[in-house]
Amino acid sequence: MAAPTPPRTDDWWRDAVIYQVYPRSFADGDGDGTGDLAGVRARLPYLAELGVDAVWFTPWYLSPLVDGGYDVADYRTIDPAFGTLAEAEKLIAEARELGIRTIVDIVPNHVSDQHPWFRAALAAGPGSPERELFHFRPGRGANGELPPNDWPSQFAGSTWTRVPDGEWYLHLFTPEQPDLNWAHPAVRQEHEDVLRFWFERGVAGVRIDSAALLVKDPALPDFVAGVDREPFVDQDEIHDIYRSWRAVADAYGGVFVGEVWLPDAERFARYLRPDELHTAFNFNFLTCPWEAGRLRRSIDDTLAEHAPVGAPATWVLCNHDVTRTVTRYGRADTAFDFATKRFGTPTDLDLGTRRARAAALLSLALPGSVYLYQGEELGLPEADVPLDRIEDPMHFRSGGTDPGRDGCRVPLPWEAEAPSYGFGAQAEPWLPQPADWARYAVDRQSGDPDSMLALYREALRLRRAEPGFGDGPMAWLPSEDGVLAFRRSHDLVCVVNLSAAPAALPPHERLLLASGPLHADGTLPRDTAVWLRG
Ligand code: GLC
């Protein structure tokens, strides 16, 4: 195993490679079919060898798991399916010894309907102070039988649910995820305490779920989609919340990464002002199709929007909400869009894999930090989860047209020949693994220099060894149509060929890494990327 790397400086987050662990599906230590903290602890050497700087854990707190843990019942308790708080503390410390920092996930927009606050609000009834922590309202219509407004849910359907005493409560996601009222001081106080709770346990950062949704227009007005600004997205008052959070984080040297889905670059950048969030996910890049012009524009826009606020960009290809990269890049339409997800969209996995390998070298060469979703380093495709095993509420609330997000959440294959591919001792994990996944198993790929895993290990090793990568300037080089070529520091060059024709490489001293074999004449085949010194 690689020797632990010494911790980096305070600015580690400006160029880190951050690995996203979905604990339910990473590794199952106790053999009950669900991944857990014991599983993660046992696999920490794998993450150290891969060469990541930090791990972001999707929510591991007490939860009825209606929305995969994004329905939190208690922020200070680890869900018993995953382990205990003492184990989480050990995990954070053990990871740190291997040079890996921990990022936890906080979901401030809503809680679980099993959270003590919401249970108390239901019990206390209309007009009670307990209900003020949420958005309870009487309905419209003669008998209050209509929802208070027309807001659509992020997961299809209405955002309002009526309780037996006749009031309605707001939930931008499922009815089991009631939205908190961020105008209430107790809501702010509680979240700042939760931040302190985790920073005091040694976490280095916090990922903020649905970060632009917290504040609602207090009038809760109807709106016309596409004409009015959505009264529950990106309200100006939200920045005051993040300024207070920043003060909390600064006391511990902690950092934030916001889940900010906003099409408007200028409004997006406001979240990254020096006294707000350190970073935010780059969804523009994640959703971008595999086309040279579009990618180049996405990269330019990203750098241009981050520059004025001095924040580093992040580069993200995949996460637990979207179609896995190799599947997406093998389709006719290589963009990602929640609205167009359908069952049975054809894909060419060989093509998608070639492109995903090239995209890995592209994103790891760009200035800023990189997020890597578990299984991306194995080149896992999106799995077809049988209909009767789907758990994701996004599928059910779409009326069954959207396959949901389970296909990217299937438990990881570790050992080709073991039951559940070594995920855990139990043959059947919580989501079924496809029958042909032995070839993706970590042990198979570890011995294969041409595997996706070998490519990621080498790319991360080089990226760490070369100070020219990570944060810092980049400059485009002249290139043929459909080719992306840019220089980092004085002697590092990345070239990606997205055109149909072979591309000539610029003069160089040495080939550092290639995502696939070059042609015999030294030209770069389509859907292939290289890192050059020269
Ligand atoms: C975020 C999460 C997603 C979750 C939603 C509601 O988008 O990434 O998984 O369903 O928020 O919390």
What six digits make up the tokens of 456?
Answer: 């990621």
3-class DSSP state of 169: strand
**Confidence check: pLDDT of 179 > 70:** yes
> Is residue 305 located within the same domain as residue 159?
no
Residue 1 counted as domain residue:
no
> Is residue 201 located within the same domain as residue 269?
yes
> Is residue 456 located within the same domain as residue 483?
no
Write the pLDDT tens digit of every residue in 305-315.
999 999 999 99
> Is residue 456 located within the same domain as residue 491?
no
pLDDT at 505: 98
Ligand 1 pocket residue status of 70, Cβ below 6 Å: yes
Write the pLDDT tens digit of every residue in 402-418.
999 999 999 999 999 99
H helix runs in 69-166, sequence order: 85-97, 116-124
Ligand 1 atom closest to Cα of residue 405: 9
Ligand 1 centroid – CA 107 distance (Å): 8
472 burial class (0-12, 13-18, 19+ CB within 10 angstroms)?
A: middle
- Name residue 393's amino acid: P
CATH of the domain at 134: 3.90.400.10
Residue 4 counted as domain residue:
no
Q: At residue 62, what are phi and psi to the nearest 5 degrees?
A: -55, 125
> Is residue 263 located within the same domain as residue 157?
no
What six digits make up the tokens of 256?
Answer: 């934030």
Ligand 1 pocket residue status of 71, Cβ below 6 Å: no
Q: Which of 420, 313, 440 is nearest to 374 (CA)?
A: 440
Please give the sequence-ordered ranges of beta strands (E in DSSP) within 250-379, or none if there are none.
255-258, 279-280, 314-316, 369-373
> Is residue 308 located within the same domain as residue 337?
yes
pLDDT at 502: 98
Best mutation site among 20, 207, 233, 321 for ligand 1, i.e. most ligand atoms within 8 A of its Cβ?
321
Please tell me the chain's helix, strand, coil percentages from 3-state DSSP, rounded to the nearest 5. 30, 15, 50
Residue 189 counted as domain residue:
no
CA dist 232 → 151, 431, 432 (Å)? 9, 33, 37
Ligand 1 centroid – CA 155 distance (Å): 10
> Is residue 387 located within the same domain as residue 417?
yes
d(CA 246, CA 282): 20
pLDDT at 350: 98
| Least trusted range by pLDDT, from 4-18, 24-38, 335-349, 485-499 | 4-18
Write the pLDDT tens digit of every residue in 414-469.
999 999 999 999 889 999 999 999 999 999 999 899 999 999 999 999 999 999 99
**Confidence check: pLDDT of 528 > 50:** yes
Mean of pLDDT over the chain: 96
Write the pLDDT tens digit of every residue in 217-241.
999 999 998 899 999 999 999 999 9
Residue 213 counted as domain residue:
yes
pLDDT (average), residues 161-172: 98
Q: Which of 280, 273, 260 is nearest to 212 (CA)?
A: 260
Nearest CA, atom 4, ligand 1: 70
Domain with 505, as residue range(s), is 473-533
Final residue of a structural domain among 460, 492, 525: 460
> Is residue 366 located within the same domain as residue 501?
no
Ligand 1 pocket residue status of 173, Cβ below 6 Å: yes
pTM here is: 0.97
Final residue of a structural domain among 460, 485, 510: 460
Ligand 1 pocket residue status of 22, Cβ below 6 Å: no
> Is residue 212 located within the same domain as residue 293?
yes
Total domains in the chain come to: 3
Confidence of residue 9 (pLDDT cuts 50, 70, 90): low
Residue 181 counted as domain residue:
no
pLDDT (average), residues 276-302: 98
- Name residue 219's amino acid: A
Ligand 1 pocket residue status of 479, Cβ below 6 Å: no
Would you list the DSSP string of 475-530?
Answer: EE----TTEEEEEETTTEEEEEE-SSS-BPPPP-SEEEEESSPPPTTSPBPTTEEE
Ligand 1 centroid – CA 435 distance (Å): 29
pLDDT (average), residues 55-84: 98
CATH of the domain at 220: 3.20.20.80
Confidence of residue 7 (pLDDT cuts 50, 70, 90): very low
pLDDT (average), residues 357-361: 99
> Is residue 408 located within the same domain as residue 332?
yes
Residue 88 counted as domain residue:
yes
Residue 520 counted as domain residue:
yes
482 burial class (0-12, 13-18, 19+ CB within 10 angstroms)?
A: middle
Nearest CA, atom 12, ligand 1: 70
Nearest CA, atom 2, ligand 1: 209
> Is residue 162 located within the same domain as residue 28?
no
What six digits make up the tokens of 31?
Answer: 């053999």
Percent of the chain with pLDDT over 90: 95
Q: Which of 238, 455, 226 is nearest to 354 (CA)?
A: 455
Ligand 1 centroid – CA 103 distance (Å): 16
Centroid of chain to Cα 98: 23
pLDDT at 264: 92
**Confidence check: pLDDT of 3 > 80:** no
Residue 182 counted as domain residue:
no
Final residue of a structural domain among 435, 460, 485: 460
Best mutation site among 210, 338, 341, 406 for ligand 1, i.e. most ligand atoms within 8 A of its Cβ?
210
Write the pLDDT tens digit of every residue in 477-503.
999 999 999 999 879 999 999 999 999
> Is residue 226 located within the same domain as residue 355?
yes
Ligand 1 centroid – CA 250 distance (Å): 26
CATH of the domain at 508: 2.60.40.1180
CA dist 322 → 316, 327, 452, 487 (Å)? 11, 11, 20, 30
pLDDT at 276: 98
Catalytic residues: 209, 259
